[in-house]
Structure 1
């Protein structure tokens, strides 16, 4: 898969996972609720709406070359936004389980990051999957 296909696969996995949908408080009867809680881009603080918490953003921040001309080492970031630190753990666990089950990927880096938004807790997961060039 290339980066776009990988992102689309994540969208399908995340939005169809009942546990994650519940953890993110998605209103399954409202299609627009999905785009409020799932973002496929890095979210700038000025574009963020705190009414959509909890939410996640997932995107490829970078991809570097490997010894194989047909594969790049992608840097997949998944940012979890919540009102409280304690809300992160179950969301983090479910995301890691989904990615491990489907892609056999492991977390390469993780930790709290500044959201730039008052009273919004941001936690970042980083994965490094191989993606097609």
Structure 2
């Protein structure tokens, strides 16, 4: 993580902890209390708050998300592990091209004649029902 990303993450984390009532002043005890409550080591919390980088350890970031009660995705983005776009692709993967019907194929190919169209659709449907040659050999 670049220094700028680490500092941006530190600022975000400091704001999250302060908003939740952790006193982060020198003698406030907030870092220690958060470390104990979250299960994250005090030194790790200190490094994160000091802008010295967050380990790209998703286990720690997962603990942080759970302790703050924020979505893990938000923490991953704030830590620079992932972008919003990457999370979007994970949440909504592109299924790729969808199969088209024989009728749609006939439309795409410009087959207008009703008899040719019926023949084309029938041929495609027959081919779709025919098992591949290696399966035909195994069925004998």
Specify which structure has the bigger relative contact order, considering alpha-carbon pairs within 8 angstroms and separated by 6 or more residues: 1
* TM > 0.5: no
Q: TM-score, normalised by structure 2?
A: 0.29
Structure with a larger share of its residues in strand: 1
Higher Rg of the two aligned structures: 2
